[in-house]
Copies of this chain bind each other. A is one copy, B any other.
Amino acid sequence: MAVTDEAIEKIKDMIVSGALRPGDRLPKESELAADLGLSRNSLREAVRALSLIRILDVRQGDGTYVTSLDPQLLLEALSFVVDFHRDDTVLEFLAVRRILEPAATAMAALRISEQQLDALTAQLDKLGDDPSVEDLVACDLEFHRGIVQSSGNSVLCSLLDGLSGPTTRARIWRGLTQEDAVGRTLREHRAILAALRDRDAEAARSWATVHIASVEQWLRSTL
């Protein structure tokens, strides 16, 4: 195994074992390199790799720190990975979302706050009659994220965020706007919201399922 890979493992072990805790500062590059028995260059490769997936936070002129290691932060790297997938696997991602999102929406029905409901309503109202693709993507993202956040499970939230991140959604919406599906999709958003307001978990789950299934169906017919 290459020295850099060893370094990655050792740093990982230091964190997993608790020797390094979230927020802790690592020894400076030259010292850490000496401790781990490799050159500064090779160590930097290890640090850079861990920083890409948000394990470490490198601040020039200051030092290198362990991040908070929050699920939200770490799963952020997921969207980076998802961006690499080609269209032919979008359906598989959507199928997973179809499993997770209804469950999350049902959970949210029991926990979502009144003010969050009002915020979602206001957000839907804000969208004009002829919104741009960018607006639709942003609105869609915000809407679902707002609901999933109210599920109370940050792992679930981050996962859904990563699975159907901006890129994937943009691809889908770009196609949707070419059809007449925009209106229906927005109406489904309102139906989900109404179910949440009624605290009707099963209705919320079903609407969420319908919502994603309709996108899935459309997508399947065009690929």
Contact = CB atoms under 8 A, between A and B. Distances in A.
A86 B69 contact: yes
A155 B89 contact: yes
A83 B95 CA distance: 26
A84 B69 CA distance: 7
B55 A52 contact: no
Secondary structure of the A contact surface, majority rule: helix
Contact of A48 (B4, B78, B86): B4
A113 interface: no
A80 B84 CA distance: 18
A69 to B, nearest CB: 5
A23 interface: no
A99 B77 CA distance: 22
Interface string A111-129: 0000000000000000000
Contacts of A84: 12, 15-16, 55, 69, 74
A219 interface: no
A156 interface: yes
A89 B73 CA distance: 13
Contacts of A50: 52
B92 A81 contact: no
Contacts of A49: 45, 48-49, 51-52
B45 A83 contact: no
Interface string A142-160: 0000000000011110010
Given A15-B84, A52-B53, A84-B12, A100 B96 contact: yes
Interface of A: 4, 8, 12, 15-16, 41, 44-46, 48-53, 55, 69, 71, 74-75, 77-78, 80-86, 89, 92-93, 95-96, 99-100, 103-104, 153-156, 159
